[in-house]
Amino acid sequence: MPRRKNQWENSSSHTGADDEGQLFRRAMADARPIRTDTVEPPRRRARAIARFSRLDERQALRESLEADSHAIEIANGSALYYRHPSVNLKTMRRLARGGVSVQAWVDLHGLNSTEAREALSAFIEQSLIRGYTCVRVVHGKGLGSGHNGPVLKRKADQWLRRWEPVLAFVSARPADGGTGALYVLLRK
């Protein structure tokens, strides 16, 4: 059966390139040239410059220096903070920065809740007898407590808030245990 030529096939014996050229010329037969060959480049937008950027930067720096770093940690829930109304903010900042000399410390690691409460109670009592005004309580971060979170940390927070001789406490600096320890301010 003889092969039928389609509408695009040329009957002449030219190469495929010639056929493509003719096809292109036929397709472009009714095309008109563009009036101009220059293309206008896109306009560049002016770079945005903040009018008050230096003022904003200075204000942000001032606010960050004035901010209570422990208030920030408290906002994310990892740090503990308690202040009796009789304790001023200046004293709290000094305590939080480690500016009050720690006179004794107790480590509650490895104790269950009952043992930890007894040990902490005895420690606070002995500290008061000795006239200590600032002590450190290491309760741990509770990394081994599972999905319930730090048990001793939560319990120490509750106990210390209830005890009358405790004026204030705040999570320690990283060098002293960070959120796994507390600086505790006691009545004289």
Domain boundaries, the chain: 53-186
Q: What is the mean pLDDT of the chain?
A: 81
Global pTM exceeds 0.85: no
Dump pLDDT digits (tens) for 69-99: 545 544 455 788 999 999 999 999 999 999 9
Question: What residue type is 26 in one-letter code?
Answer: R
Domain 53-186 has CATH 3.30.1370.110: yes
User: What are the Cα distances from residue 103, in Å, to 130, 154, 170, 183?
Assistant: 10, 24, 16, 10
Around 17, how many Cα atoms within 13 Å sit in the side-chain half-sphere?
0
